[in-house]
Amino acid sequence: MAYLKHKRILLGITGGIAAYKSADLVRRLREQGADVRVVMTRSACEFITPLTMQALSGRPVHTELLDYSAEAAMGHIELARWCDVVLIAPASANFMARLTHGQADDLLSTLCLAASVPLLLAPAMNQQMWLNPATQDNARLLTSRGITLLGPADGSQACGDTGPGRMLEPGDLIGHLDHVFQTNTLTAKKLVITAGPTREDIDPVRFISNRSSGRMGYAVARAAVEAGAEVVLISGPTSLELPERVFCQQVVTARQMHDAVMNEIRDTDIFIAAAAVADYRCSTIADQKIKKTDAFINLTLEKNPDILGEVASLSPPPFTVGFAAETEALLENARKKLINKKLDMIAANLVGDNRGFESEDNELQIIWKDGNIKLDHAPKEKLARNLVAIIAKHIHEKNSAQTH
Ligand code: CTP
């Protein structure tokens, strides 16, 4: 159960006695390192208080659809965009019926319609209610739409009955959630990724660098591990925690990054250049700190090796993905880079005006030879998972075209 760290889990609680188990579920999810936000229906609040869930999740609990202060902070659309997965536990018979009909008459049902992430339901109800043909039809319809039903389990019930309708235990639900993030789409693939900025020394105390935080590259590295790849991360200086199960090499300059990549590139299936590599370095680095004696000083800069371009020119090249950070004409500039550098794919985003580099969120245009797709504004982790899924799809298509 190692996949839930930093995952954003939206836990929906509907009315049912099993709501008391959701308190333990939140506690355990947080122990796994997940970030949990709780949304409760009105009847859920009759079984367990929002205050309890707030204390356990460490976040405000959301209950109202039309609450002006809540909408200003994080409304239903923001919540839907924020989360990586929605788990509704317990899911009552009434909630399942409302979801089947696409109703949007409270915060939780509206959010379910607005979210484009995996939706999991843990039904909990009296066994007769579960076995009722109406509920069974709803369960079938929800499953056919791609919603995952977890349980219910069989056993003794709070109402005294015995039969199917018990909510799965928190440990089992966590096991299922963990599974959502293990996609195995890149099993047995080796992936090398660069991330972060590089630094080019001017003198012993100064350097040329840029605003890259490394977040996007680190998120892609994590997403690739979840997809089953063997990941080598070659990182410039960042303040980020190293991703788990990733072989990480820390470098400082563009030339060190270049050498580290070239050492690793043999047998690599996928290369992703997410680093903001300094295009130029100082021709000479002063031995001593440069003193401010003159009104003007000149630095002579020379070009650094283009790591991405060099990898894409290998024969045969790995599946090569570049990043393009542009301040204008995004699609046009990115497509030029795709063609000039002979890339398989490029992920382009606008930077400047607090967009891109230092923020937690971003939006991306993913462009390849004969197509493109826009990934809407979302946390970088979520964009990273989508990007990895798109890369995996293209690689599988390319492989199956080669074998036919
Ligand atoms: N890149 C690289 N090695 C370099 C420079 C860039 O691997 N020396 C990679 C980056 O990691 C990114 C892509 O190339 O994936 C960016 O392309 P590039 O044309 O270098 O972008 P800019 O430097 O922004 O180019 P320009 O100034 O022409 O916009």
3-state secondary structure of 114: helix
| 216 and 278 belong to one structural domain | yes
Q: Which helix (H) or strand (E) holds 273?
A: strand 270-273
Q: Is the shortest distance between the CB of 279 and ligand 1 below 6 Å?
A: yes
Number of domain units in the chain: 2
Q: Is the shortest distance between the CB of 323 and ligand 1 below 6 Å?
A: yes
Exposure string of 368-384, with b = 16+ CB inside 10 Å and e = fewer, is: beeebeebeebbbbbbb
- Atom 17 of ligand 1, nearest CA residue: 324
Q: Which of 277, 327, 391 has most ligand 1 atoms within 8 Å of its beta carbon, as the pocket-test mutant?
A: 277
- What's the angle, vertex CA 360, arms to CA 148 and CA 78, rounded to 5? 50
Q: Is the shortest distance between the CB of 310 and ligand 1 below 6 Å?
A: no
Mean pLDDT across the chain: 93
Q: What is the pLDDT of residues 96-151, one digit of tens each?
A: 999 999 999 999 999 999 999 999 999 999 999 999 999 999 999 999 999 999 99
Residues 230 and 247: their CA atoms lie apart, in Å, by 8
Is the confidence at residue 401, as pLDDT, over 90? no
| 273 and 395 belong to one structural domain | yes
Q: Is the shortest distance between the CB of 385 and ligand 1 below 6 Å?
A: no
Is the confidence at residue 392, as pLDDT, over 90? yes
Q: Which helix (H) or strand (E) holds 155?
A: strand 153-156
- Ligand 1 atom, smallest distance to 333 CA: 29
Query: What CATH number is associated with residue 320?
Result: 3.40.50.10300
Taking a C-beta distance cutoff of 8 angstroms, is the pair 390, 185 a contact?
no
Q: For the ranges 67-76, 173-182, 206-215, 247-256, which has the lowest average pLDDT?
A: 67-76
Model confidence band, residue 73 (pLDDT cutoffs 50, 70, 90): low
Residues 96 and 122: their CA atoms lie apart, in Å, by 10
In a domain, 185, yes or no: no
Closest-CA residue to 227 (of 387, 398, 67): 387
- Atom 22 of ligand 1, nearest CA residue: 324
In a domain, 88, yes or no: yes
Q: How much is the pTM? A: 0.84
Q: What is the pLDDT of residues 339-384, one digit of tens each?
A: 999 999 999 998 876 665 667 788 999 999 999 999 988 889 999 9
Residue numbers annotated as active site: 159
* Mean pLDDT, range 8-24, rounded to an integer: 97
Task: Look up residue 352 and give its DSSP letter.
Answer: B
How high is the pLDDT of residue 294? 87
| 155 and 244 belong to one structural domain | no
| 8 and 128 belong to one structural domain | yes
Q: Is the shortest distance between the CB of 324 and ligand 1 below 6 Å?
A: yes
* Mean pLDDT, range 28-40, rounded to an integer: 96
Collect all residues with Cβ–Cβ distance below 8 Å to 322 and sequence separation of at least 6.
273, 308, 312, 337, 338, 341, 343, 345, 346, 347
Closest-CA residue to 173 (of 107, 52, 42, 85): 85
Q: Is the shortest distance between the CB of 275 and ligand 1 below 6 Å?
A: yes
Which domain, by its residues, includes 395? 190-403
Taking the centre of ligand 1 as the mean of its atom positions, its distance from the CA of residue 199, in whole angstroms, is 15
Taking the centre of ligand 1 as the mean of its atom positions, its distance from the CA of residue 232, in whole angstroms, is 20
| 132 and 170 belong to one structural domain | yes
How high is the pLDDT of residue 354? 62
Q: ω before 316 within 30° of 0 (cis)?
A: yes
Residues 279 and 258: their CA atoms lie apart, in Å, by 12
In a domain, 47, yes or no: yes
Q: What is the pLDDT of residues 163-210, one digit of tens each?
A: 999 999 999 999 999 999 888 999 999 999 999 999 999 999 999 999
Taking the centre of ligand 1 as the mean of its atom positions, its distance from the CA of residue 341, in whole angstroms, is 10
How high is the pLDDT of residue 47? 97
In a domain, 202, yes or no: yes
